[in-house]
Amino acid sequence: MIRTTLIAALCCVGGLPIFARSTAMSDNSFVRKAAEANYAEIQLGKLAQDKGTNSAVKDFGQRMVTDHTKAYDQLKPIASKDNITMPDRMNVKDQALYDRLSKLSGTQFDREYMRSMVKDHQSDVAEFQRESTKAKEADVRTYATNTLPVLQEHLRLAEDANAKVGASASK
């Protein structure tokens, strides 16, 4: 009896079995990261609308604000259910990018913004593809599945705008 209780105690952390906790942490980590990315894309999109000189860059910035605001709002109930606080500021990495881009102007801003958008969306598409099949929670999997086509379209648009401003995505 003592042995069973000890094993049960060792197998559980925070009221959840260890295997369930690691699964939940994986989904929670994805939700946190997606919320941060959406928030950053909104802020960076506003910056592109303000500082962009090429119409493709300004249009892309507007699309980021519109689509990522919608994605951010769709993520809120999932985050709330899992007691995840939605961000109200950018993380350190995204803030550094914002600060760097905000110091640029003209075609230099356009090239650097679009280069970063191609890179970010390549990464986002890969992550959402993975989560659309690997997430343990159905609502997280559904969110990833439904958001993936939008991110794939963003990647295509970013690559097109990137080509128009002459940026290299491999910097």
The pTM assigned to this predicted structure is 0.82
Q: What is the pLDDT of residue 25?
A: 44
Predicted local distance difference test score (pLDDT) of residue 167: 56
Taking a C-beta distance cutoff of 8 angstroms, is the pair 61, 46 a contact? yes
pLDDT at site 166: 84
The CATH number that domain 25-165 falls under is 1.20.1260.10
- Distance between alpha carbon 59 and the CA centroid of its chain, in Å? 20
- Distance between CA 64 and CA 103 in Å, rounded? 20
Angle, helix 18-51 to helix 138-165, in steps of 10 degrees: 30
Nearest to 26 by CA among 123, 141, 157: 141
* Residues of the chain with confidence (pLDDT) below 50: 2-25, 169-171
The domain segmentation of the chain, as residue ranges, is 25-165
pLDDT of residue 6: 42
Structural tokens at position 94: 């995204």
Q: Name the residue among 151, 86, 82, 143 with its Cα closest to residue 123.
A: 151
